[in-house]
Structure 1
Amino acid sequence: MAIDAKGIDFSSSFVKDIGNGLNVSFWHDRWVGEYTLKNKFAKLFELEEDKNVSVADRVDIQDNRKIFKWQWVGPFRGRSIDELQNITSIVSSVQLNNYSQDKWKYTLESDGVFRTKGLSSLILSSTITSTTNSSTLRNKALPLKVEIFIWRANQLRLPVRIELDKRGIDLDSVLCPICKKLVESVEHSF
Structure 2
Amino acid sequence: MQIRAKVKIGNGQQTSFWHDKWTGQGTMKQQHPELFALSQQQHATVAMMWTGQGWNLFLRRHLNDWEMKRIAEFYNSVADFNNLNGGEDRLEWNKDRNGKFSINSAYKELNSAVVKGKDWPWKMIWKPKIPYKVS
| More strand as a share of residues | 1
Residue 43 of structure 1: how far off its partner (Å): 0.9
How well do the aligned residues superpose, as a CA RMSD in angstroms? 2.4
Identity %: 22
- Does the C-alpha gap of structure 1 residues 111 and 28 become closer, same or farther in structure 2, counting only changes over 3 Å? same
Quick one: higher RCO (CA 8 Å, sep 6+), 1 or 2? 2
**For 1:16, what is the secondary structure of its paired residue?**
strand
Separation (CA, whole Å) in 1 of partners of 2:21 and 2:54: 21
* Structure-2 residue corresponding to 1:109: 96
* Structure-2 residue corresponding to 1:23: 14
Separation (CA, whole Å) in 2 of partners of 1:79 and 1:113: 43
Q: Which residue, out of 19, 22, 29, partners 1:38?
A: 29
Residue 13 of structure 1: how far off its partner (Å): 0.5
Structure of greater Rg: 1
Structure 1 stretches of 5 or more lacking a match? 1-9, 129-136, 151-190
Residue 41 of structure 1: how far off its partner (Å): 0.9
Structure 2 stretches of 5 or more lacking a match? 128-135
**How many residues were matched structurally?**
125
What does residue range 16-165 of structure 1 map to in structure 2 within 5 Å? 16-61=7-52, 66-123=53-110, 125-128=111-114, 137-139=115-117, 144=122, 146-148=123-125
Q: TM-score, normalised by structure 2?
A: 0.79
**For 1:67, what is the secondary structure of its paired residue?**
coil
Q: TM-score, normalised by structure 1?
A: 0.58
